[in-house]
Amino acid sequence: MSQVVPAYRGAKRERGQKSRQMGQICRVRAPRPQETSRLATLGIVAESPFDSSAEGERATRIDARASREAILAVAADAVAGDRRISMVELAAAAGVGRSTLYRHFPSRSALNEALERRDQGSSSDQRTPTGQLATLPYIAPGHLGRDGLALEVTHVLDEVPPHLVPDQLVAEARRAGGVPVGLYVVDIDGSQLIRLAGTDDFPDHLDAPPALGPEIVPEGLSGFQRQLGVSLPGCTLEPLWLRGRITALFLCVGTPVASLADVAKQGAAALDLANDYTDAIEAARRRKPPTPAAEIQQNLLPPRIARITGGQLAGGLLPTYEVGGDWFDFVENRDGSWLAIGDAAGNGPTAAGLGAAALGALRASRRSGQGIEEALQSMDETVRRHQGDDLYVSTVIARWQPATSMLTWVNCGHPHAYLVNREGRVAELTGPDHAALGRGRPKRRFRPTGRQLYPGERILLVTDGVTDRRTTTGVFGIEGVQAAVDGSSSPTAAATAMALLQAVSDSWAEPLEDDGTVVVLCVV
């Protein structure tokens, strides 16, 4: 794989032997501040070959610049995807503490001003056709294909066959950045990054990304980049953001000579839309032969990470590929944010189909402007139309209204929800128990329970595939939930959900016996 790496090697050689000697001396000089910042952005600390009494102070300054550049790099990508991302989320994604973030940027406006200055500096430093590296032919970024198709989502989908969109994005990223590029997506269980496009020089897969299903958790991106710095030291990452979610990654050999942010931003939207018109993207995400139940189940699920007014939502599912009865859903409407979780009895296509019918009834009721009680009555009637005493659906349906910070919910034969308070302690949310949908008397009433939530609190909805997961000492239960919350890298919704599912997966060496599903609401 060929690679063009920008290098700094001191002063140019001028005339005679003396100049060549000076050039050799200059090649081992300490990096300039702007070079150190660039290296620090990649997680590389440049060591000076010169010893002095100020070495410790210089290292401290380098660390501070590295932290500042890491914050700015993450903020530039994140804000492009969703301007509502919080300062706490930015600190977690950059791998720094909140105190470090506020030491560099006391307010959101200070951070925005720094981003603007950074963008203006990048624009003034960009290479021109006459000032670029001699080995790279100049091609203006922002176009796709031989005919110069403008890099704009609707044009891409109109002109490029959906199954070729990944290859076209890689070609554009390579031209814009001047380095080899591979495009990676996450498989459906979040355990691997799968190469979707790019040459065979790139690994077919990369293990252990910080992911919830097919989406990268932003808070884990900096740690994953450091991990890749060990296994693939010559590579850098460019995330593809879509409304605060990372849906794919560009893996670059070396540092691009021009920013790939625009390609990544447009590419994320293009991939998301193209996915509705081709099986190529979803097929790449499946490491096992898909089953009908698994396909039904996966198509029921919403985006795994969402930012809502006054809070965050995240959900994830550990599939067995055989059961297929679990589902979750969340959405933000004018009447608040709805969140739901469910488990259809049985396994295989029957369970998946029953779950799909119940979820369809919920969505139809929501879109008709109905409340929780009416939605549950509609779901109950829908499940009852499937004849059989062993066909039922357990569920928790909830709605959170940010203006009053009131959570209202109904539990129908499902494991209780959990409240995580601001100190991180986990407790069950109790309330009236109702029979599972499809059981009990028909045309029954459902009594909601309410509780006010406060900033820093989290609500966890889980299926019995989580609570009843066998471990070496018994079952996962509330003790396992508490341990997972304690071990979460950040109190955000996405980090909490990822930590919980990882804990369930790691709790026993044996494969899952039932799907494990979790939904997290975090109030900010």
On whether residue 26 sits in a domain, the answer given is: no
**Ramachandran angles phi, psi of 522, nearest 5°:** -120, 125
Same domain, 107 and 199: no
Contact indicator for 498, 460 with CB cutoff of 8 Å = no
Same domain, 280 and 263: yes
Helix H or strand E segment including 319: none
**Ramachandran angles phi, psi of 143, nearest 5°:** -135, 150
Same domain, 64 and 156: no
Same domain, 261 and 326: no
**Which one of 108, 124, 140 terminates a domain?**
124
Same domain, 104 and 156: no
Q: What is the mean pLDDT of the chain?
A: 82
pLDDT confidence of 127, banded at 50, 70, 90?
very low
On whether residue 423 sits in a domain, the answer given is: yes
Q: Residue 517: which domain range?
A: 292-523
Q: Which residues fall within 8 angstroms of residue 420, CB to CB, at 6 or more apart?
A: 426, 457, 458, 459, 460, 485, 496
Quick: pLDDT tens for 393-439: 999 999 999 999 999 999 999 999 999 999 999 999 988 999 999 99
On whether residue 22 sits in a domain, the answer given is: no
Quick: pLDDT tens for 323-362: 678 999 999 999 999 999 999 998 888 999 999 999 999 9
Residue 477: both structure tokens together: 């239960």
Quick: pLDDT tens for 42-64: 333 333 333 444 555 555 666 77
State the DSSP code for 218. G
Q: What is the pLDDT of residue 51?
A: 42
Same domain, 159 and 177: yes
> Domain tally for the chain?
3
CA 167 to chain CA mean position, Å: 22
Q: Which residues fall within 8 angstroms of residue 462, CB to CB, at 6 or more apart?
A: 341, 415, 418, 481, 500, 516, 517, 518, 519
Same domain, 337 and 446: yes
On whether residue 373 sits in a domain, the answer given is: yes
Same domain, 379 and 500: yes
Contact indicator for 144, 153 with CB cutoff of 8 Å = no
Contact indicator for 396, 417 with CB cutoff of 8 Å = yes
Same domain, 306 and 439: yes
On whether residue 515 sits in a domain, the answer given is: yes
Convert 63-85 into a string of H (helix), E (strand) and C (coil): HHHHHHHHHHHHHHHHHHHCCCC
On whether residue 8 sits in a domain, the answer given is: no
| Stated pTM of the model | 0.74
**Ramachandran angles phi, psi of 479, nearest 5°:** -65, -40
Give the separation between CA 241 and CA 8, rounded to whole angstroms: 32
Q: Is 136 exposed, middle or buried (0-12, 13-18, 19+ CB in 10 A)?
A: middle
Same domain, 76 and 186: no
Give the separation between CA 26 and CA 11, rounded to whole angstroms: 6
Give the separation between CA 326 and CA 393, rounded to whole angstroms: 9
Adjacent-strand bridge partners of 338: 331, 399
Q: Is 395 exposed, middle or buried (0-12, 13-18, 19+ CB in 10 A)?
A: buried
Q: What is the average per-residue pLDDT within 460-474?
A: 94
Q: What is the pLDDT of residue 132?
A: 34
CATH number of the domain that 419 lies in? 3.60.40.10
Adjacent-strand bridge partners of 418: 428, 460
**Which one of 259, 284, 309 terminates a domain?**
284
Give the separation between CA 344 and CA 216, rounded to whole angstroms: 28
**Which one of 220, 255, 284 terminates a domain?**
284
Give the separation between CA 409 and CA 396, rounded to whole angstroms: 7
CATH number of the domain that 198 lies in? 3.30.450
Q: Which residues fall within 8 angstroms of residue 388, CB to CB, at 6 or more apart?
A: none
Same domain, 187 and 302: no
Give the separation between CA 311 and CA 337, rounded to whole angstroms: 9
On whether residue 10 sits in a domain, the answer given is: no
Q: What are the angstrom distances between the C-alpha of 259 and each of 171, 173, 239?
A: 15, 9, 12
Same domain, 158 and 259: yes
SS3 61: helix
On whether residue 246 sits in a domain, the answer given is: yes
